[in-house]
Amino acid sequence: MSEVVSQPNSIKKILPLILATAIFMQMLDSTILNTSLPAIARDLKESPLNMQNAIISYVLTLAVFMPASGFLADRFGTKKVFIVSIVLFSLGSLFCAISQNLTHLVISRVLQGIGGSLMTPVGKLALIKTFDKNELLKAMNFAIIPALIGPVLGPLVGGYMVDYLSWHWIFLINIPIGLLGITLGLKFMPNYKSADVDFDLKGFLIFAAASLLLSISLELFGDLQNTTPVLIVFILGFLFMYYYYRHAKRDESPIFPLNLFQVRTFRVGIVGNLATRLGISSVPLLLPLMIQIAYKQSAVTSGWIIAPMALTAIFGKSYVIKILDKFGYRQTLMINTFIIGTLICLLAIPDINTSLYWFVPIIAILGFFNSIQFTSMNTISIADLRNFQTSSGNSLLSVNQQLAIGFGIAFGLIVLKIFENTDLIHGEPHNAFRYTFLTIGILTIISGFVFRRLHISDGKNMKSKES
């Protein structure tokens, strides 16, 4: 039985673009702020260290509200929730740009976070319900391109805007993109609802608390000077996860039913996302850091070094469907993860006297295989979900991806700081980065074995009509 509702071709053509607009805004906004914090701090007369609150407030808001995205879409309709979410995100962006102090900025970032926590999961849910399984891979393949180029372009665009315009433009750039999303959403977004919706308030609060505590610990893990409070928060987060598990076993309609994990492809997709993103998510942070700290180059230079990753990611999209159709999900994901891990290890080879241009081909090839990885993981995770599991499964996948990115960044920084405090580096900061790349590369290779749990035939229903 299919949940897909027949829609006019015009909607099927525009819907991936609408989702791409939402993802682009969210991913760009998650990274563009990093290079701009010093300039904002000077203008608002704040310490640059305090400016981390502007980033943390956004991340924590995503963690709290994202679990409710599936219920809200089922209750009020995908169209209404999506439009409201983009309006909130755009208003939050405007308020960020006109903020007069740090408090105003943090409140505005929370408003942005509420919009951001809903617009991508709800847009993806509409896509899943509109396209048949054998059309979904192609549609999702196009829609998630911004998820690959946003983290790469964010620091580069942010650096140029701060240098040549002002920091206000890193927020104002969202306004025209938001208006485009609203206009397209009003005309083309289908309004799917569910007749039988029961909101699990207790489960939502428990899961939101778990996500919040884990996100806080991930944001604080970079500071290894005082690890005890961070570990306490981290452990509390997992205790709340266990509390949610106990609650979900007893409740008749939990916000995330445990029967989701009885679907093997969903289970493997969730675990695979967490495991492989440990390495993948840390590279766009660690490589620019190394170029700036060890090679003493500017933020703009480091941005240009990793920019080819965005171009090859787009190029990879034209091959991913052919690769999956030929080799299947199991073989593609295992081999692809091994390749990504090997490429991360190769970043450890150049010494401090090697030209920076040595990194460009590695990063370019990495962007291509990252593109295949994300499309494959995202689509296999939802391949076998039943009608009644789609909303909750999609929401949980979105939360998992958000936490996985946070885990990856935190893990990369922790490994780097551990090596910085050892005798292995011989007083050379560059060696700490080399050992870090080697460590996370090897762990990424090992994480590829997660996908052995897939069957050779898994994902056959996702095969494109063109194959």
Q: What is the mean pLDDT of each run of 10 residues along the chain (467 residues)?
A: 54 82 78 70 73 75 82 86 93 90 87 89 85 76 71 71 78 88 87 75 86 78 67 88 89 82 88 87 81 78 79 82 87 94 91 83 91 87 79 82 79 82 73 90 93 84 52
Report pLDDT for 464: 53
* Lookup: tokens for 274: 């967490």
- Residue that the structure tokens 């093997």 belong to: 264
Helix (H) or strand (E) holding 130: helix 102-130
As a whole number of angstroms, the distance between CA 125 and CA 142 comes to 15
Please provide the size of the chain in residues: 467
Report pLDDT for 1: 35
Report pLDDT for 336: 95
The pTM of this model reads: 0.80
Residue type, 38: P
Report pLDDT for 95: 92
As a whole number of angstroms, the distance between CA 48 and CA 108 comes to 18
DSSP code at position 426: T
Report pLDDT for 8: 62
Report pLDDT for 437: 93
Helix, strand or coil, per DSSP, at residue 390: helix
As a whole number of angstroms, the distance between CA 312 and CA 327 comes to 21
Please say whether the beta carbons of 208 and 240 come within 8 A. no
